[in-house]
Amino acid sequence: MRPIDLRSDTVTQPSPDMRAAMAAAEVGDDVLERDPTLARLEVRVADLLGMEAALWVPSGCMGNVIGLMLHLKRGDRFLAPAQAHVLGSELGTAAWLAGGMPEALAWEGGPGRPTPAQVTKTAGSPGPYYSLCTTLLCLENTHNFAGGTVTPQAEHRALVAAAKAAKLAVHLDGARLWHAAAALGLPPSALTEGVDTVQVCLSKGLGAPMGSLVCGSKPAMAEARRLRKMLGGGVRQGGVMGAAGLVALDYLPRIPEDHAKTQRLAEGLRGFGIAAPVPETNILLVPVPDATLALATLESAGVRTLPVGPAIRFIPHRDLAMADIEEALRRIEPVAHLLRRA
């Protein structure tokens, strides 16, 4: 039985047109000068996000740590929503490499979302010379571990305004910003307003084998290029990956299809009496009585998922059709009782 892989939107295979574009890519040496295909991709993404400049980096983690390194001095405190990827899933690089002291903000504005008042209160005002300096707010839209939740545009603006009033820079982890924009029916640039830097991924949901872009002002991106090299991310003929990224962007108009698959999966699970929430984007977190048991049972039934705390995570993606979601539901039905909470 072919497993239906719903662990992540990163498990996608490069499509035939993507592989063809990679094979035909015009390339240069991106350390010595600029790779022309990466340069094209950077212009396209900066434009999509309404930012001045962009820099390709191999991964989302590298994009985030570069963003943090640009804004933090050693010992500075930064604020981020609780369970943000930069807090719990990047090996502490925010502290280890960027020198930041993290402060998690509870989700008082909704799942994955702090309120502007929390930003103001936690940032406080400058104290005596020996006090901690808070210099950065790091947002995440969509918020992965809250279940792909979206920060709407007005809330984004208010969070940025609160940060600016407290003299904080703003970095946005937009690994799945595309999905937030699609869910709101807005261009991605509507959700970057006011940020100093943003990181977006091409390998999550869009199908590229690797690659993210960190975006900001031209001087910030010149410094980001130095930091990328320092972190071992200065690649040579990166245009092979840049070409994949350009094809990946063509998937943007189809993101709503993945959201529809996620909705259908949630609805089907609820039909079996499982406590599946209504997903906002492509991530579905289902609380279950025993995540280890549920995961193993689903795996033997031919449905692959990942545990996230007491829940299991399903992420439909471009390599799965709606028919695969229906097949996943058929496979889950006989074991559904193990996913039901008492």
Ligand X SMILES: Cc1ncc(COP(=O)(O)O)c(C=O)c1O
User: Which is it for strands 284-287 and 77-81: parallel, antiparallel or unpaired?
Assistant: unpaired
- Binding-site member from 83, 115, 144, 297 for ligand X (CB under 6 A): 144
Listed in sequence order, the DSSP H helices in 50-152 are 60-71, 85-88, 93-96, 116-123
- Nearest Cα to Cα of residue 265 among 254, 279, 253: 279
280 binds ligand X (CB under 6 A): no
- In angstroms, rounded to a whole number, what is the distance separating the alpha carbons of residues 29 and 197? 25
Q: Does 281 bind ligand X (CB under 6 A)?
A: no
| Burial degree of 103 (CB within 10 A; 0-12, 13-18, 19+) | middle
- Closest approach of Cβ 85 to ligand X, in Å? 4
If one asks whether residue 5 binds ligand X (CB under 6 A), the answer comes out as no
Query: Residue 280 CA to chain centroid, in angstroms?
Result: 14
What part of residues 111-140 is at the interface with ligand X (CB under 6 A)?
Answer: 140
Quote the least distance from Cβ 33 to ligand X, whole Å: 26
Interatomic CA distance for residues 236 and 232, integer angstroms: 11
Residues 286-325 that bind ligand X (CB under 6 A): none
258: contact with ligand X by CB under 6 A: no
Q: Which stretch binds ligand X (CB under 6 A): 43-51, 198-206, 219-227, 244-252?
A: 198-206
Q: Please answer whether residues 169 and 196 qualify as being in contact, where contact means their C-beta atoms are separated by less than 8 angstroms.
A: yes
Number of H helices and E strands in the chain, helices first, is 13, 12
Instruction: Decide if residue 177 touches ligand X (CB under 6 A).
Output: no
Interface pick for ligand X out of 77, 85, 156, 225 (rule CB under 6 A): 85
Instruction: List the structure tokens of 284.
Output: 């579905």
Q: Which of 18, 46, 61, 244 binds ligand X (CB under 6 A)?
A: 61
98 touches ligand X by CB under 6 A: no
Decide: is 201 part of the binding site for ligand X (CB under 6 A).
yes
Nearest residue relative to ligand X (C-beta): 60
Binding of ligand X by 173 (CB under 6 A): yes
How far apart are alpha carbons 130 and 227 in whole angstroms?
29
Tell the smallest beta-carbon distance from residue 64 to ligand X (Å).
Answer: 6
Segment contacting ligand X by CB under 6 A, of 152-160, 197-205, 230-238, 239-247 = 197-205
- Residue showing tokens 């807090």: 87
At which residue do the structure tokens 């090996």 appear?
91
Which residues sit at the interface with ligand X, rule CB under 6 A? 59-61, 64, 85, 140, 144, 173, 175, 201, 203-204, 212
